[in-house]
Homo-oligomer: A and B are copies of this chain.
Amino acid sequence: MIKVGIIGSTGYAGQELVRLLLQHKEARIVWFGSKSYIDKKYYEVFQNMFQLVDATCMDDNMEELAENVDVIFTATPQGLCASLVNSDILSKVKIIDLSADFRIKDVSIYEEWYGITHQSPQFIHEAVYGLCEINRDQIKKARLIANPGCYPTCTTLSVYPLLKEGLIDPDSVIIDAKSGTSGAGRSAKLGNLFCEVNENMKAYGVANHRHTPEIEEQLSYAAGQDMKINFTPHLVPMNRGILITAYGNLKQKVTYDEVEAVYDKYYKNEYFIRVLDKGICPETRWVEGSNFVDVNFVIDSRTNRIIMMGAMDNLVKGAAGQAVQNMNVMFGLEENSGLQLVPMFP
Protein backbone atom coordinates (compact mmCIF):
# COMPACT_ATOMS: atom_id res chain seq x y z
CA MET A 1 0.00 0.00 0.00
CA ILE A 2 1.55 3.28 -1.10
CA LYS A 3 1.27 6.04 1.46
CA VAL A 4 0.39 9.35 -0.16
CA GLY A 5 0.65 12.95 0.99
CA ILE A 6 -1.03 15.74 -0.92
CA ILE A 7 0.11 19.34 -0.59
CA GLY A 8 -2.67 21.51 -1.94
CA SER A 9 -5.58 19.12 -1.58
CA THR A 10 -8.34 21.70 -1.60
CA GLY A 11 -7.99 23.10 -5.10
CA TYR A 12 -9.88 21.48 -7.97
CA ALA A 13 -6.88 19.35 -8.99
CA GLY A 14 -6.14 18.41 -5.40
CA GLN A 15 -9.70 17.36 -4.76
CA GLU A 16 -9.66 15.30 -7.96
CA LEU A 17 -6.55 13.54 -6.70
CA VAL A 18 -8.48 12.65 -3.57
CA ARG A 19 -11.39 11.33 -5.64
CA LEU A 20 -9.10 9.15 -7.72
CA LEU A 21 -6.91 7.89 -4.90
CA LEU A 22 -9.90 6.93 -2.75
CA GLN A 23 -10.81 4.53 -5.56
CA HIS A 24 -7.23 3.24 -5.98
CA LYS A 25 -6.72 -0.17 -4.43
CA GLU A 26 -3.00 0.25 -3.80
CA ALA A 27 -2.71 3.76 -2.44
CA ARG A 28 -3.88 5.45 0.71
CA ILE A 29 -3.88 9.18 1.42
CA VAL A 30 -2.46 9.93 4.84
CA TRP A 31 -1.99 13.71 4.57
CA PHE A 32 -4.50 16.22 3.28
CA GLY A 33 -2.46 19.39 3.01
CA SER A 34 -4.25 22.73 2.71
CA LYS A 35 -2.92 26.07 3.88
CA SER A 36 -6.37 27.67 3.56
CA TYR A 37 -8.28 25.15 5.63
CA ILE A 38 -5.88 24.00 8.34
CA ASP A 39 -7.68 22.09 11.12
CA LYS A 40 -10.90 21.92 9.17
CA LYS A 41 -12.39 18.55 8.27
CA TYR A 42 -11.72 17.82 4.63
CA TYR A 43 -15.37 16.92 4.03
CA GLU A 44 -16.44 20.34 5.28
CA VAL A 45 -14.66 21.81 2.28
CA PHE A 46 -15.97 19.18 -0.14
CA GLN A 47 -19.22 17.64 1.06
CA ASN A 48 -18.98 14.94 -1.61
CA MET A 49 -16.38 13.41 0.72
CA PHE A 50 -18.79 13.28 3.67
CA GLN A 51 -18.54 9.84 5.34
CA LEU A 52 -15.78 8.94 2.88
CA VAL A 53 -12.94 11.03 4.32
CA ASP A 54 -12.70 11.73 8.01
CA ALA A 55 -9.31 13.44 7.89
CA THR A 56 -8.50 16.99 8.89
CA CYS A 57 -6.62 19.46 6.67
CA MET A 58 -2.95 19.89 7.60
CA ASP A 59 -0.35 22.57 7.04
CA ASP A 60 2.27 22.06 4.31
CA ASN A 61 5.32 20.49 5.88
CA MET A 62 7.32 18.67 3.24
CA GLU A 63 10.12 17.68 5.63
CA GLU A 64 7.74 15.93 7.96
CA LEU A 65 5.82 14.45 5.06
CA ALA A 66 9.00 12.97 3.60
CA GLU A 67 9.40 10.89 6.74
CA ASN A 68 5.91 9.51 6.62
CA VAL A 69 4.83 8.90 3.06
CA ASP A 70 6.07 7.19 -0.08
CA VAL A 71 5.02 9.88 -2.52
CA ILE A 72 4.06 13.53 -2.31
CA PHE A 73 1.78 15.21 -4.79
CA THR A 74 2.07 18.99 -4.91
CA ALA A 75 -1.04 20.57 -6.42
CA THR A 76 -0.01 24.10 -5.55
CA PRO A 77 0.65 27.48 -7.21
CA GLN A 78 3.81 27.95 -9.30
CA GLY A 79 6.94 28.30 -7.20
CA LEU A 80 5.85 26.50 -4.07
CA CYS A 81 7.21 23.06 -4.85
CA ALA A 82 10.52 24.51 -6.02
CA SER A 83 10.77 26.43 -2.76
CA LEU A 84 10.16 23.36 -0.57
CA VAL A 85 12.11 20.56 -2.20
CA ASN A 86 15.70 19.69 -1.28
CA SER A 87 18.16 16.83 -1.65
CA ASP A 88 17.32 15.29 1.66
CA ILE A 89 13.65 15.18 0.84
CA LEU A 90 14.29 13.77 -2.61
CA SER A 91 16.36 11.00 -1.10
CA LYS A 92 13.45 9.89 1.04
CA VAL A 93 10.34 10.33 -1.02
CA LYS A 94 9.12 10.55 -4.59
CA ILE A 95 7.56 13.82 -5.65
CA ILE A 96 4.99 14.41 -8.34
CA ASP A 97 4.61 18.14 -8.88
CA LEU A 98 1.44 19.27 -10.64
CA SER A 99 2.71 22.84 -10.95
CA ALA A 100 4.95 24.12 -13.75
CA ASP A 101 8.10 24.38 -11.63
CA PHE A 102 10.04 21.52 -13.21
CA ARG A 103 8.44 21.24 -16.63
CA ILE A 104 10.72 23.57 -18.58
CA LYS A 105 14.36 22.62 -18.92
CA ASP A 106 15.60 26.12 -19.68
CA VAL A 107 15.28 27.98 -16.40
CA SER A 108 15.51 31.38 -18.08
CA ILE A 109 12.45 30.61 -20.18
CA TYR A 110 10.57 29.50 -17.03
CA GLU A 111 11.54 32.68 -15.22
CA GLU A 112 10.61 34.88 -18.16
CA TRP A 113 7.15 33.41 -18.74
CA TYR A 114 6.25 32.88 -15.10
CA GLY A 115 7.83 36.04 -13.78
CA ILE A 116 9.37 34.42 -10.73
CA THR A 117 12.85 33.29 -9.75
CA HIS A 118 13.25 29.52 -9.67
CA GLN A 119 14.17 28.41 -6.13
CA SER A 120 15.61 24.99 -7.06
CA PRO A 121 17.13 25.11 -10.52
CA GLN A 122 19.53 22.35 -9.54
CA PHE A 123 16.74 19.75 -9.76
CA ILE A 124 15.35 20.79 -13.13
CA HIS A 125 17.69 18.53 -15.04
CA GLU A 126 16.81 15.50 -12.96
CA ALA A 127 13.06 16.06 -13.12
CA VAL A 128 11.23 13.93 -15.66
CA TYR A 129 8.38 15.37 -17.74
CA GLY A 130 5.58 13.04 -16.76
CA LEU A 131 3.94 12.25 -20.05
CA CYS A 132 3.90 8.47 -19.68
CA GLU A 133 3.04 7.74 -23.29
CA ILE A 134 6.30 9.38 -24.36
CA ASN A 135 8.66 9.26 -21.38
CA ARG A 136 7.62 6.02 -19.70
CA ASP A 137 11.09 4.60 -19.24
CA GLN A 138 12.51 7.66 -17.53
CA ILE A 139 9.44 7.95 -15.33
CA LYS A 140 10.01 4.45 -13.99
CA LYS A 141 13.31 5.57 -12.49
CA ALA A 142 12.41 9.14 -11.56
CA ARG A 143 12.39 10.70 -8.10
CA LEU A 144 10.85 13.99 -9.23
CA ILE A 145 8.09 14.22 -11.81
CA ALA A 146 7.01 17.39 -13.53
CA ASN A 147 3.39 16.55 -14.17
CA PRO A 148 2.47 18.14 -17.53
CA GLY A 149 0.09 21.06 -17.89
CA CYS A 150 -3.43 20.46 -19.15
CA TYR A 151 -3.08 22.21 -22.52
CA PRO A 152 0.41 20.79 -23.17
CA THR A 153 -0.82 17.25 -22.49
CA CYS A 154 -3.72 17.41 -24.90
CA THR A 155 -1.74 19.31 -27.52
CA THR A 156 1.37 17.16 -27.42
CA LEU A 157 -0.54 13.91 -27.61
CA SER A 158 -2.64 15.19 -30.52
CA VAL A 159 0.27 16.45 -32.59
CA TYR A 160 3.26 14.33 -31.53
CA PRO A 161 3.09 11.45 -34.02
CA LEU A 162 2.85 13.66 -37.10
CA LEU A 163 5.76 15.85 -36.03
CA LYS A 164 7.84 12.87 -35.02
CA GLU A 165 7.29 11.25 -38.41
CA GLY A 166 7.96 14.49 -40.20
CA LEU A 167 4.61 14.73 -41.92
CA ILE A 168 3.96 18.38 -41.06
CA ASP A 169 5.96 21.55 -41.26
CA PRO A 170 7.04 22.48 -37.73
CA ASP A 171 6.86 26.17 -38.52
CA SER A 172 3.21 25.98 -39.47
CA VAL A 173 1.68 24.63 -36.28
CA ILE A 174 -1.23 26.57 -34.81
CA ILE A 175 -3.02 25.40 -31.67
CA ASP A 176 -6.51 26.67 -30.98
CA ALA A 177 -7.52 25.38 -27.55
CA LYS A 178 -10.75 25.50 -25.57
CA SER A 179 -11.14 24.77 -21.89
CA GLY A 180 -13.84 24.38 -19.28
CA THR A 181 -13.68 26.63 -16.27
CA SER A 182 -12.23 24.31 -13.64
CA GLY A 183 -8.88 24.96 -15.32
CA ALA A 184 -9.04 28.47 -13.91
CA GLY A 185 -8.78 27.17 -10.36
CA ARG A 186 -10.84 27.60 -7.21
CA SER A 187 -9.93 31.09 -6.11
CA ALA A 188 -12.64 33.69 -5.76
CA LYS A 189 -12.02 35.97 -8.74
CA LEU A 190 -14.62 38.20 -10.37
CA GLY A 191 -13.83 36.80 -13.81
CA ASN A 192 -14.69 33.27 -12.73
CA LEU A 193 -18.11 34.05 -11.25
CA PHE A 194 -20.95 32.07 -12.73
CA CYS A 195 -22.62 35.09 -14.34
CA GLU A 196 -19.35 36.21 -15.93
CA VAL A 197 -18.56 32.83 -17.49
CA ASN A 198 -21.98 31.43 -18.31
CA GLU A 199 -23.33 32.29 -21.76
CA ASN A 200 -19.91 33.59 -22.78
CA MET A 201 -16.86 32.63 -24.84
CA LYS A 202 -13.56 34.44 -25.04
CA ALA A 203 -9.95 33.97 -25.95
CA TYR A 204 -7.43 34.85 -23.25
CA GLY A 205 -3.68 34.93 -22.91
CA VAL A 206 -3.44 35.41 -26.67
CA ALA A 207 0.19 35.06 -27.78
CA ASN A 208 1.39 35.08 -24.18
CA HIS A 209 -0.12 32.15 -22.30
CA ARG A 210 2.36 30.40 -20.01
CA HIS A 211 1.75 26.98 -21.48
CA THR A 212 3.26 28.15 -24.78
CA PRO A 213 6.93 27.44 -23.99
CA GLU A 214 6.03 24.10 -22.40
CA ILE A 215 4.21 23.02 -25.56
CA GLU A 216 7.02 24.32 -27.73
CA GLU A 217 9.63 22.38 -25.81
CA GLN A 218 7.75 19.10 -26.07
CA LEU A 219 6.90 19.55 -29.74
CA SER A 220 10.49 20.55 -30.48
CA TYR A 221 11.65 17.20 -29.11
CA ALA A 222 9.23 15.50 -31.46
CA ALA A 223 10.23 17.57 -34.47
CA GLY A 224 13.91 17.35 -33.74
CA GLN A 225 14.24 21.10 -34.16
CA ASP A 226 13.33 24.27 -32.33
CA MET A 227 9.71 25.21 -32.86
CA LYS A 228 7.62 28.27 -32.31
CA ILE A 229 3.86 27.86 -32.33
CA ASN A 230 0.73 29.91 -32.03
CA PHE A 231 -1.27 28.90 -29.02
CA THR A 232 -4.63 30.50 -28.27
CA PRO A 233 -6.66 29.26 -25.31
CA HIS A 234 -10.37 30.01 -24.92
CA LEU A 235 -12.68 29.85 -21.92
CA VAL A 236 -15.96 27.98 -22.41
CA PRO A 237 -18.95 27.76 -20.04
CA MET A 238 -18.60 24.21 -18.77
CA ASN A 239 -16.95 22.60 -15.75
CA ARG A 240 -14.56 20.07 -17.24
CA GLY A 241 -12.96 19.38 -20.57
CA ILE A 242 -10.26 20.53 -22.93
CA LEU A 243 -10.55 20.44 -26.69
CA ILE A 244 -7.58 21.04 -28.96
CA THR A 245 -7.89 21.93 -32.62
CA ALA A 246 -4.43 21.96 -34.16
CA TYR A 247 -3.51 22.96 -37.69
CA GLY A 248 -0.39 22.01 -39.62
CA ASN A 249 0.78 22.22 -43.21
CA LEU A 250 1.40 18.82 -44.75
CA LYS A 251 4.88 18.52 -46.20
CA GLN A 252 3.52 16.28 -48.95
CA LYS A 253 0.27 14.65 -49.93
CA VAL A 254 -0.79 11.89 -47.57
CA THR A 255 -3.76 9.56 -47.44
CA TYR A 256 -6.05 8.92 -44.52
CA ASP A 257 -4.64 5.44 -44.15
CA GLU A 258 -1.09 6.69 -44.00
CA VAL A 259 -1.86 9.12 -41.22
CA GLU A 260 -3.93 6.58 -39.34
CA ALA A 261 -0.96 4.20 -39.50
CA VAL A 262 1.23 6.87 -37.94
CA TYR A 263 -1.15 7.37 -35.03
CA ASP A 264 -1.43 3.62 -34.61
CA LYS A 265 2.33 3.24 -34.54
CA TYR A 266 2.53 5.38 -31.43
CA TYR A 267 -0.79 4.77 -29.72
CA LYS A 268 -1.95 1.28 -30.64
CA ASN A 269 -0.97 -0.08 -27.24
CA GLU A 270 -1.70 2.99 -25.19
CA TYR A 271 -4.65 2.33 -22.91
CA PHE A 272 -5.43 5.99 -22.35
CA ILE A 273 -5.19 7.27 -25.91
CA ARG A 274 -8.11 6.40 -28.12
CA VAL A 275 -7.67 7.10 -31.82
CA LEU A 276 -11.27 7.40 -32.92
CA ASP A 277 -12.84 5.85 -36.00
CA LYS A 278 -12.67 7.73 -39.28
CA GLY A 279 -14.94 10.74 -39.32
CA ILE A 280 -15.60 10.84 -35.57
CA CYS A 281 -14.52 14.11 -33.96
CA PRO A 282 -13.35 14.05 -30.34
CA GLU A 283 -15.90 15.48 -27.89
CA THR A 284 -15.22 16.28 -24.29
CA ARG A 285 -18.41 14.60 -23.04
CA TRP A 286 -17.06 11.18 -24.01
CA VAL A 287 -14.03 11.40 -21.73
CA GLU A 288 -15.50 13.21 -18.73
CA GLY A 289 -14.28 11.85 -15.43
CA SER A 290 -11.80 9.48 -17.11
CA ASN A 291 -8.11 9.51 -17.95
CA PHE A 292 -8.71 9.04 -21.69
CA VAL A 293 -7.51 11.34 -24.43
CA ASP A 294 -9.53 10.96 -27.61
CA VAL A 295 -7.70 12.03 -30.76
CA ASN A 296 -8.45 12.13 -34.43
CA PHE A 297 -7.61 14.09 -37.58
CA VAL A 298 -9.05 15.35 -40.85
CA ILE A 299 -6.98 15.94 -43.98
CA ASP A 300 -8.05 19.01 -45.91
CA SER A 301 -6.80 18.36 -49.42
CA ARG A 302 -8.08 21.74 -50.60
CA THR A 303 -5.54 23.59 -48.46
CA ASN A 304 -3.06 20.74 -47.96
CA ARG A 305 -3.40 21.10 -44.22
CA ILE A 306 -4.24 18.57 -41.57
CA ILE A 307 -6.52 19.33 -38.64
CA MET A 308 -5.57 17.35 -35.53
CA MET A 309 -8.04 17.19 -32.64
CA GLY A 310 -7.84 16.00 -29.06
CA ALA A 311 -10.31 15.92 -26.17
CA MET A 312 -9.70 15.07 -22.55
CA ASP A 313 -10.82 15.89 -19.02
CA ASN A 314 -8.53 18.68 -17.83
CA LEU A 315 -8.77 17.56 -14.18
CA VAL A 316 -8.01 13.91 -14.92
CA LYS A 317 -5.57 13.33 -17.80
CA GLY A 318 -4.77 17.04 -17.62
CA ALA A 319 -3.87 16.96 -13.91
CA ALA A 320 -4.77 14.44 -11.20
CA GLY A 321 -5.28 11.37 -13.39
CA GLN A 322 -1.98 11.81 -15.14
CA ALA A 323 -0.34 12.29 -11.75
CA VAL A 324 -1.75 8.97 -10.58
CA GLN A 325 -0.66 7.37 -13.85
CA ASN A 326 2.85 8.62 -13.13
CA MET A 327 2.67 7.22 -9.61
CA ASN A 328 1.62 3.85 -10.99
CA VAL A 329 4.58 3.78 -13.36
CA MET A 330 7.03 4.94 -10.70
CA PHE A 331 5.93 2.26 -8.25
CA GLY A 332 5.72 -0.57 -10.75
CA LEU A 333 1.94 -0.92 -10.62
CA GLU A 334 -0.33 -1.53 -13.57
CA GLU A 335 -0.35 1.79 -15.39
CA ASN A 336 -4.13 2.02 -15.37
CA SER A 337 -4.52 0.91 -11.78
CA GLY A 338 -7.23 3.00 -10.17
CA LEU A 339 -7.80 4.75 -13.48
CA GLN A 340 -10.16 2.38 -15.23
CA LEU A 341 -13.00 4.77 -14.70
CA VAL A 342 -15.71 4.68 -17.34
CA PRO A 343 -16.37 8.20 -18.65
CA MET A 344 -19.57 9.59 -17.19
CA PHE A 345 -22.27 10.75 -19.58
CA PRO A 346 -24.34 12.87 -19.58
Instruction: List A residues at the B interface (Cβ < 8 Å).
Output: 12, 15, 18-19, 22-23, 46-52, 174, 176, 178, 180-182, 186, 188-190, 192-204, 206-207, 228-230, 232, 234, 236-241, 243, 245, 247, 274, 276-277, 280-290, 294, 298-300, 302-303, 305, 307, 309, 311, 340-346
| Distance, CA A283 to CA B174, complexed state (A) | 21
CB <8 Å contact, B228 and A234: no
Q: Which single residue of chain B is at the shortest CB-CB distance from A200?
A: B285
A26 to chain B, nearest CB (A): 16
CB <8 Å contact, A241 and B194: no
Q: List 6 A-B contacts (CB under 8 A).
A: A46-B286, A50-B274, A194-B194, A200-B285, A206-B309, A344-B344
Copies in the complex: 4
CB <8 Å contact, A245 and B176: yes
Q: Which 8 A-B pairs have the closest CB atoms?
A: A48-B343, A195-B346, A200-B285, A202-B283, A176-B176, A207-B300, A194-B197, A47-B286
Given A195-B182, A274-B51, check contact A200 B230 (CB 8 Å).
no
Residues of B close to A207: CB separation below 8 A: 298-300, 302, 307
A262 to chain B, nearest CB (A): 18
A238 to chain B, nearest CB (A): 5
Q: A15-B345, A52-B342, A193-B194 are in contact. List 11 more A-B contacts (CB 8 A).
A: A12-B195, A23-B341, A48-B290, A48-B342, A51-B274, A181-B195, A182-B346, A188-B188, A195-B346, A199-B284, A207-B298
A59 to chain B, nearest CB (A): 20
CB <8 Å contact, B243 and A12: no
Residues of B close to A180: CB separation below 8 A: 199
Given A286-B50, A345-B48, check contact A200 B294 (CB 8 Å).
no
CB <8 Å contact, B342 and A19: yes
Given A178-B178, A228-B302, A344-B19, check contact A245 B234 (CB 8 Å).
yes
| Distance, CA A100 to CA B285, complexed state (A) | 29
Given A182-B346, A193-B193, A346-B12, check contact A238 B241 (CB 8 Å).
no
Q: Which single residue of chain B is at the shortest CB-CB distance from A44?
A: B277
A44 to chain B, nearest CB (A): 8
A120 to chain B, nearest CB (A): 28
CB <8 Å contact, B188 and A285: no
Residues of B close to A289: CB separation below 8 A: 289, 344
CB <8 Å contact, B342 and A22: yes
Residues of B close to A344: CB separation below 8 A: 19, 48, 289, 344
